[in-house]
Amino acid sequence: MKTVVPKADPAQRKWYIIDADGEVLGRLASQVAMVLRGKHKPEFTPHLDMGDHVVVVNAEKIRVTGQKLEQKKYTRYSGYPGGLRIRSLFQLFQDHPDRVIKKAVRGMLPKNRLGRQMIRKLRIYTGPDHPHTAQMPVVLPENMRRT
């Protein structure tokens, strides 16, 4: 029996919508990363981008557990002396709640060209409205969601 290598056909990609209202950040990010990678498909291939598009709405209603709002820190460094910038999850969430979800999902994807290609299929909106009605996104089914 020969091994069949599937083609990464963009025409076969589906669009899913996820409502982040009341969802825990890490659990939501792992579900989104699974769909973006394509691990929910039987023809999953690790070296190909087989994933689907994901639209996340109500990003400002996400919740975190424990003391993460005050204790979790996001750092970036410019490369210059004194160029370290540190922001807490609370500060980033106040200004850009969509970036909090994007950073969590990006951390769960491969750290290479393939991961950068996958993250482009993620769209995050702070409110309940999104401009992707023409793509007819469907709600992510319960059997594809991890609990």
HEC-encoded secondary structure of the chain: CCCCCCCCCHHHCCEEEEECCCCEHHHHHHHHHHHHHCCCCCCCCCCCCCCCEEEEECHHHCECCCCHHHHCEEEEECCCCCCEEEEEHHHHHHHCHHHHHHHHHHCCCCCCHHHHHHHCCEEECCCCCCCCHHHCCEECCHHHCCC
Every domain of the chain and the residues it spans: 12-63+98-135
pLDDT in tens, 99-116: 999 999 999 999 999 999
Note the pLDDT of residue 8.
80
pLDDT in tens, 14-23: 999 999 999 9
- For residue 1, name the pLDDT band (cuts at 50, 70, 90): confident
As a CATH number, domain 12-63+98-135 is 3.90.1180.10
Is the pLDDT reported for residue 98 higher than 60?
yes
